[in-house]
Amino acid sequence: MSTDQALVQAQHLSVRYGARRAVDDISFTLPKGRVVGLLGHNGAGKTTLMKALVGLVKAEGQLSVLGRDPLRERVALLNEACYIPDVAILPRWIRVADLIRLMGGLHPRFSAERSRELLRRTSVDLTDKVGKLSKGMMVQAHLALIAAIDARLMILDEPTLGLDVLSRKAFYEMLIDEWCDGERSVVISTHQVEEIEALLSDVLMLNEGKLVLSISLEDMDRRFVALSHDAAVADEMAAAHPLLRYRVAGGSAALFDGAPPEHVQALGRRVRPSLVDLFVALTRKPELDRTQF
Amino acid sequence: MNPILPLMQREWLQHRFAWALLALVPLGLALLALSFAQVGVGVDVDGDTITEVTDARMAPVFALGSMAAGSGLLFVILWVASLIIISGLARRDHGDRSVEFWMSLPVGHGTSLAVPLLVHLILVPAAALLIGLAGGWLLSAVLVGRVMGIAEWFTLPWGALLGAALAVAARLLAGLVLATLWIAPLVLLLILANAWFRRWGLVLLVVGIGIGGWVMDRAFGQPIVTDLVRDLLVNAGRALAGASGGGMVIGKDSEPDLVLGQVPGWAWQDFVAALRQLASPLLAGGLLFAAGCFALLVDWRRRGASAAA
Amino acid sequence: MQTWDDRQPIYQQLADLLAAQLLDGDPPEGEAMPSVRVLAGRHLLNPLTVNRALQALGDEGLLENRRGIGLFVAQGARERLKAAERERFLQQEWPRLRERLRRLDIGAEQLDWEGTR
**Which CATH number does the domain housing residue A75 bear?**
3.40.50.300
Is B106 within 8 Å of A58 when comparing Cβ atoms? no
A144 found inside a domain: yes
Query: Which chain A positions have a beta carbon within 8 Å of C49's beta carbon?
Result: 198, 201, 217
Q: Using beta carbons and an 8 Å cutoff, which residues of B are at the interface with A?
A: 1, 3, 5-7, 9-10, 13-14, 93, 96-98, 100-108, 303-304, 306-307
Asked if residue A213 is part of any domain, the answer here is no
Same domain, A138 and A271: no
Q: Choose the closest CB to A199 out of C5, C37, C44.
A: C44
Contacts of C43 in chain A (CB under 8 A): 198
Mark whether A164 and A231 lie in a shared domain.
no
C41 and A35 within 8 Å at the Cβ level: the answer is no
Give a yes or no: residue A214 inside a domain.
no
Domain boundaries, chain B: 4-307
Question: Residue B309: its pLDDT value, please?
Answer: 32
Question: Does one domain contain both A16 and A84?
Answer: yes
Q: Please check whether residue A192 lies inside any domain of the structure.
A: yes
Determine the distance in angstroms separating the CA of C35 from the nearest CA of chain A, rounded to an integer.
12
Inter-chain contact B106–A106, Cβ cutoff 8 Å? Answer: yes
> Which whole number is the average pLDDT over A62-77?
92
Same domain for A171 and A238, yes or no, is no
- Same domain for A119 and A14, yes or no, is yes
Number of domains observed in the structure of chain A: 2
The CA distance from B140 to B163, in Å, is 16
Q: Residue type at A279? A: F
> How much is the mean pLDDT over chain B?
82
3-state SS, chain B, equals: CCCHHHHHHHHHHHHHHHHHHHHHHHHHHHHHHHHHCCCCCEEECCCCCEEECCCHHHHHHHHHHHHHHHHHHHHHHHHHHHHHHHHCCCCCCCCCCHHHHHHCCCCCHHHHHHHHHHHHHHHHHHHHHHHHHHHHHHHHHHHHHHHHCHHHHHCCCHHHHHHHHHHHHHHHHHHHHHHHHHHHHHHHHHHHHHHHHHHHHHHHHHHHHHHHHHHHHHHHCCCHHHHHHHHHHHHHHHHHCCCCCCCCCCCCCCCHHHHHHHHHHHHHHHHHHHHHHCCCHHHHHHHHHHHHHHHHHHHHHHCCHHHCC
pLDDT digits (tens, 9 = 90+) for B190-246: 999 999 888 788 888 888 888 887 777 777 766 677 777 787 887 777 777 766 655
Q: Do A122 and A148 lie in a common domain?
A: yes
Residue A246 falls within a domain, yes or no? yes
Q: What is the mean pLDDT of chain A?
A: 86
- Do A204 and A161 have their domain in common? yes
pLDDT in the model for residue A290: 40
- Count of structural domains, chain C: 1
Mean pLDDT of A106-121: 91
Domain carrying residue A226: 220-288
Contact A205, A274 (CB under 8 A): no
Instruction: Say if CB B282 and CB B186 are below 8 A apart.
Output: no
Asked whether residue C58 is domain-assigned, the answer is: yes
Query: Where does chain C show beta strands of DSSP type E?
Result: 63-66, 70-73
Looking at the predicted structure, is the pLDDT value of residue B42 above 80? no
Best residue of B12, B13, B112 to probe chain A, by most A CBs closer than 10 Å: B13
Residue C64 lies in a domain: yes
Does the distance separating the beta carbons of A180 and C37 come in below 8 Å? yes
Instruction: Say whether the A–B interface has 3 or more Cβ pairs within 8 Å.
Output: yes
- Give the CATH number of the domain where residue C12 resides: 1.10.10.10
Predicted ipTM?
Answer: 0.83
What is the reported pTM?
Answer: 0.81
Are A229 and A126 found together in one domain? no
A62 part of a folded domain? yes
Do A13 and A142 lie in one domain? The reply is yes
Average pLDDT along chain C, 117 residues, taken 10 residues at a time? 78 91 86 90 91 91 86 86 88 89 87 75
- Collect all residues of chain A within an 8 Å Cβ-Cβ radius of residue B9: 101-102, 105
Name the residue in chain B with its Cα closest to that of A91.
Answer: B98
B46 or B86, higher pLDDT: B86
Residue C64's domain spans which residues?
Answer: 7-105
